[in-house]
Structure 1
Amino acid sequence: MVSERALIAKITWRLMPFLGFLYLIAYIDRQNVSFAKLQMVDALGLSEYAYGLGASLFFIGYFIFEVPSNLFLNRFGASIWFARIMVTWGIITIALAYTQSATMFYILRFLLGVAEAGFFPGVLYLLTLWFPKDYRGRMVGLFMIFSALANAIGAPVGGMLLDLDGYLGFAGWEWVFLATGIPAVIAGIVTYFYLDDTPDKAKFLSEPEKQWLRDRLAKENAGMDEHADSGFKALINPRVLLMSLCYVGFPLAAYGLSYWLPTIVQGFGVSNTVNGFINIIPWLIVALALWIVPTMADRTENKTPYIVGPAFIGALCLVLSAVIAAPVLQFALLCVAAAGIFAGQPVFWSLPGRFLKGAGAAAGIAAINSVGNLGGFVAQNVVPWIRDVTGSTIAPMFFLAACLAVAGILVIVVGRMMADRMRRPA
């Protein structure tokens, strides 16, 4: 007889630390521009706005190629496709160290988005193949904890790498890209040999365990719509479009805060290395929230309070951080805001699995994430633009707070619309 708890634990220990480690590398490679910026702006003669535009082009490449990437994942399998993703983004990150002009920076950031497209939604799709729905919220939360750890690790490492300025003839910002690109290439090669595409191909599971999981997932998926393999059809699915609209505000606030936080702390008058270590604090708090909130949400059928509650708390703290001048209290509020921005997102990602499966899930999840992540493009353009116009590093927090609050309101509205639709007789 198969023990559900033992089986879920076995799968969790096999997949989640490894997938989380890959996400840690991905997030460091995605956010390394926030520290490279502290020297790269002057080195290339860019304004804050021009640099923000270059950094944000990542999200355009990501948006265009995310749905196709997830469909390729469904076709070729996670081991091959994740390996391809990681090796290519690692090579492009290394190439960023040799940037000679603004144009080259823009092109490489766009290509980095193309290379990485499909990784995050690919993992979300993979979790629908391995875990019953009652476990997905906390698994996404566990996975996203590594993004918080990436910021915690990347912050002091980024600061120390900047302080290597001139070592072996490389500028500090060049060291940031070199040291964060190489691990991605190595991890990509390991992924090809380690990762199992589906439970049926997993050598670490017994046949009874595979059958139990097969039966459980089939029972949960019974009655769902199996959307066509076309990513374009997923993009026009009404529920996918509504969830995409809801999601935009979350990555917008997340990227806006994480991209700008090192600059805010720099304004406290600290060194690059001290800046990095101070930036560990908010991400440790985020990691704790990413475990507590999804775990609580998995125990209840109504997920909405666990999505919007943290969002509204985050929005309030962003506003307070902009009106309170005391640096210590300001930073404390930004720490709570960061937790509020991230804590509800794993709960949000447990919702698509309730109406999507198979190739439809691969395309639909990618569509929601790709449209939502345009918020990253907006954040990395609007935040520095507000800074250039106002001369204040804290003024952009009003904009992020408004976007996060609107996202919370939309989740409530759309949640009620979807609930009404599900209650209607067929």
Structure 2
Amino acid sequence: MILLSYFVALVDRANISFAATTMNADLGFSETIYGIGASAFFLGYSLLEVPSNLLLAKFGARIWLARIMLTWGLISILTAFVHTPWQFYAMRFALGVAEAGFYPGVIFYLSSWFPGEHRAWAVSRFYIALPLSYIVMGSIAAPLLAMHGWLGLHGWQWLLVVEGLPSVLLAMVLLTALPDRPASARWLDDAERRWLEGVLTREAEAAGPASHNVLRALANRFVLMLGLANALLYLAVNAVAFSAPKLLAHGTGFDVAGVGRIVSAGGVTMAAALLSVSLLAGRTVPRSLLAYAGLMFAAAAGLAVLWLGGTAASTICGYIVFLAAGQTAGMLPLAIVSRLVPAADRAAGLAMTNTIAQAGAFFGPLLWGVLADWTGSYALGVALLIPVAASSGLMGLVVRRASLKLTPG
């Protein structure tokens, strides 16, 4: 259920990238206008991140995740009927407000089910929704855009409406079927419940002194450092992701269907990378951080190929390497924070880590759009993202060195 929920969230968040291939021309939006709208999502998302996660901890995952899904589904559908830039900005901002707290909320939820050594594995099993969303979006975007003219709607409007409906329906499923804690899981017997609750309790006690002081959680050095590393990651990834269809079309000369196949291939590669990293690097914090750094250096290399190549083949290869490495790295920071922050501070710490990261997510599409309008191409934007991705990898190594003093080995 968590995997399906995250899948439809990602589709509703990023389907605007395919819609933009025709929406921008239909509505007269420049790259800058589109970049502002894409970034507005992350502004709303970051402002409500911490409050949303604290409310999830208070009301329980079942009620709060269902609320999040219902509101973001309705807003995604309403985005299909915008006509002006300010309407577009408002809908994207509202979508961010609606979805705020979902991802760190899920990490917090999983931390109440899975012991630390299994947590990266568990995160990877729902994070696999990310590559699945690329595969599905790449496959269905062209047919949905081809519905242009049905009932007087543009193809991009049909894309937003059809892809927003599953969120509304799945919210009802979560509300009735998602258990908040192992104690309410029907598939566990009494002995299994006692064992799991006991393991999680002992782990929380071993994590060190806990405090419900929110400011203490927000000032945790691992929260701040991993938030900054993730901000640099998101700056690079979101700048490319929200313009990927147009970037790939420009670099390869392919139509929407051909670009969709490239995006789907990137999703398959990303899925393989996610599963591999979760198996090989998720059991200890230092290994997870080493994997994070290596993935971000690979992402920088992919951007270099994308920038220097100048051919259809280099565009495809550079994009797929960058996408698979960068998005796979994105699953690690919050899983690591969940193991380094005391249990009682975890909800606020996870939310704050993700809030810091949203600064990069906000500025990425915005600056990308401004540079594209200014230069008439995406080349400068790609070049500037290479050191950004590499810096995120270096920050991962810095955090690893600090974590060794706390969790040797």
**Which range, TM-score by smaller chain?**
over 0.9
User: Is 1:245 aligned to 2:232, yes or no?
Assistant: no
User: Is 1:406 aligned to 2:362, yes or no?
Assistant: no
Identity among equivalent positions (%) equals: 33
What TM-score comes out, normalization by structure 2 length? 0.95
Q: Among 342, 346, 364, which residue is 1:361 paired with?
A: 346
Change in Cα spacing, 1:110 to 1:231, as seen in structure 2 (3 Å) is: farther
**Equivalent pair of 1:140/1:349 in contact (CA under 8 Å):** no
Look up the equivalent residue of 1:312 and give its one-letter code: F
CA RMSD of aligned residues (A): 1.7
Q: Deviations over 1:120-166 (max 9, x none)?
A: 11111111111111111122122211111101101222222222111
Aligned-residue offset at 1:283: 1.1
1:11 paired residue number = none
**Equivalent pair of 2:50/2:355 in contact (CA under 8 Å):** yes
2:254 paired residue number = 270
2:310 paired residue number = 325
5 Å-filtered alignment, 1:18-417, equals 18-225=1-208, 227-229=210-212, 231-267=214-250, 268-300=252-284, 302-303=286-287, 304-417=289-402
Specify every segment of 5 or more residues in structure 2 that has no aligned partner in the other structure, as ranges. none
Aligned-residue offset at 1:212: 0.8
State the alpha-carbon separation in 1 of the partners of residues 378 and 344 from structure 2: 43
Look up the equivalent residue of 1:344 and give its one-letter code: A
Aligned-residue offset at 1:227: 4.8
Q: Deviations over 1:17-64 (max 9, x none)?
A: x21111110000000110111122122222101111011101011001
Look up the equivalent residue of 2:202 and give its one-letter code: K
State the alpha-carbon separation in 2 of the partners of residues 166 and 24 from structure 1: 28
What TM-score comes out, normalization by structure 1 length? 0.91
**Equivalent pair of 1:28/1:180 in contact (CA under 8 Å):** yes
Change in Cα spacing, 1:127 to 1:171, as seen in structure 2 (3 Å) is: same
Change in Cα spacing, 1:354 to 1:51, as seen in structure 2 (3 Å) is: same
SS of equivalent to 2:187: coil
Aligned residues: 406
Change in Cα spacing, 1:237 to 1:86, as seen in structure 2 (3 Å) is: same
Specify every segment of 5 or more residues in structure 1 that has no aligned partner in the other structure, as ranges. 1-17
Aligned-residue offset at 1:239: 2.6
Structure 1 window deviating more from structure 2 (128-137 vs 409-418): it is 409-418
Aligned-residue offset at 1:236: 2.4
Aligned-residue offset at 1:404: 1.1
Change in Cα spacing, 1:186 to 1:301, as seen in structure 2 (3 Å) is: closer
